[in-house]
Structure 1
Amino acid sequence: MTVATSPLSIVIATRESRLAMWQAEHVKALLQARGHTVELLGMTTKGDQILDRTLSKVGGKGLFVKELEVALEEGRAHIAVHSLKDVPMDMPQGFALACVMEREDPHDAFVSPKYHSLDALPQGAVVGTSSLRRQVLLQALRPDLKIEPLRGNLDTRLRKLDEGQYDAIVLAAAGLKRLGMQDRIRAIFSPTTMLPAAGQGALGIEIRADRQDLAQALAPLVHMPTWLRVAAERAVSRSMGGSCSVPLAAHAVLDGDLMRIDAAWGDPQGVQSLICAQQTATVTTRAQAEALGAQVAAHLQAAGAKICTQS
Structure 2
Amino acid sequence: MNNGMKIRIGTRGSKLALYQAELVQAYLRNSAGLADIEIVVIKTSGDMIRQKNPVPMETKRIFTKEIEEALLADQVDIAVHSAKDLAAKMPEGLMIGAVLEREDPRDCFIHPDGKKLGDLKEGAVIGTSALRRQTQLLRFYPYLKVENIRGNVDTRLKKAMNRECDGILLAYAGIKRLGLQESVSEILDEKMFYPAPGQGVIVVQCRSKDQAVLDLLRSIHHDDSGKLLQAERVFLTELEGGCQLPCGIRTRINGPRMEASGVLLSPYQPQWVEADFVGQSDNPDEVGLQLARRILETGGKIILEEIRGKAGQKMNKAYGDGENA
Matched, 1:77 2:72: no
Tell me the distance in 2 between the aligned counterparts of 1:134 and 1:74.
36
Q: Report what 2:245 is aligned to.
A: 246
Q: Report what 1:8 is aligned to.
A: 5
Asked if the contact 1:47/1:55 (under 8 Å) is kept, the reply is no
Q: Per-residue deviation at 1:32? A: 1.9
When residues 90 and 253 of structure 1 are mapped into structure 2, their CA distance, relative to the original with a 3 A threshold, is same
Pick the aligned partner of 2:286 from 281, 291, 309: 291
Larger RCO (CA under 8 A, 6+ residues apart): 2
Instruction: Write out per-residue CA displacement over residues 165-186 of structure 1, whole angstroms, 9 at most, x where no aligned residue.
Output: 1101110000011011010111
AA aligned opposite 2:9: I
Q: Per-residue deviation at 1:5? A: 4.9
Q: Per-residue deviation at 1:58? A: 10
Q: Per-residue deviation at 1:265? A: 0.4
Q: Report what 1:259 is aligned to.
A: 258
Q: Report what 2:273 is aligned to.
A: 275
Gaps of 5+ in 1: none
- SS state of the match for residue 89, structure 2? coil
Alignment: residue pair count: 304
AA aligned opposite 1:274: W
Instruction: Write out per-residue CA displacement over residues 105-131 of structure 1, whole angstroms, 9 at most, x where no aligned residue.
Output: 110011111242111111111001111
Q: Report what 1:190 is aligned to.
A: 189
Instruction: Write out per-residue CA displacement over residues 139-188 of structure 1, whole angstroms, 9 at most, x where no aligned residue.
Output: 10111111100111111111111221110111000001101101011111
AA aligned opposite 1:294: L
Tell me the distance in 2 between the aligned counterparts of 1:157 and 1:120.
21
Tell me the distance in 1 between the aligned counterparts of 2:271 and 2:95.
37
Tell me the distance in 2 between the aligned counterparts of 1:166 and 1:79.
38
Instruction: Write out per-residue CA displacement over residues 210-230 of structure 1, whole angstroms, 9 at most, x where no aligned residue.
Output: 111101101011001111111
Q: Per-residue deviation at 1:244? A: 2.8
Asked if the contact 2:258/2:281 (under 8 Å) is kept, the reply is yes
Tell me the distance in 1 between the aligned counterparts of 2:3 and 2:22.
22
AA aligned opposite 2:136: L
Asked if the contact 1:54/1:151 (under 8 Å) is kept, the reply is no
When residues 38 and 55 of structure 1 are mapped into structure 2, their CA distance, relative to the original with a 3 A threshold, is farther
Tell me the distance in 2 between the aligned counterparts of 1:53 and 1:42.
26
When residues 289 and 57 of structure 1 are mapped into structure 2, their CA distance, relative to the original with a 3 A threshold, is closer
Which runs of structure 2 are paired with 1:87-166 in the superposition (5 Å)? 87-166=86-165
Tell me the distance in 2 between the aligned counterparts of 1:81 and 1:55.
24
Tell me the distance in 2 between the aligned counterparts of 1:174 and 1:191.
13
AA aligned opposite 1:25: E
- SS state of the match for residue 166, structure 1? coil
Which runs of structure 2 are paired with 1:16-35 in the superposition (5 Å)? 16-33=13-30, 34-35=32-33
Asked if the contact 1:133/1:249 (under 8 Å) is kept, the reply is yes
TM-align CA RMSD:
1.7
When residues 68 and 58 of structure 1 are mapped into structure 2, their CA distance, relative to the original with a 3 A threshold, is farther
AA aligned opposite 1:276: E
Q: Per-residue deviation at 1:70? A: 1.1
Tell me the distance in 2 between the aligned counterparts of 1:109 and 1:177.
10
Tell me the distance in 2 between the aligned counterparts of 1:238 and 1:227.
16
Q: Per-residue deviation at 1:256? A: 1.5
Q: Per-residue deviation at 1:248? A: 0.7
Which region of structure 1 is more displaced relative to structure 2, 108-117 or 97-106? 108-117
AA aligned opposite 1:132: L
Q: Per-residue deviation at 1:276? A: 0.5
Aligned-residue identity in percent: 35
Q: Report what 1:303 is aligned to.
A: 298
Tell me the distance in 2 between the aligned counterparts of 1:133 and 1:123.
21
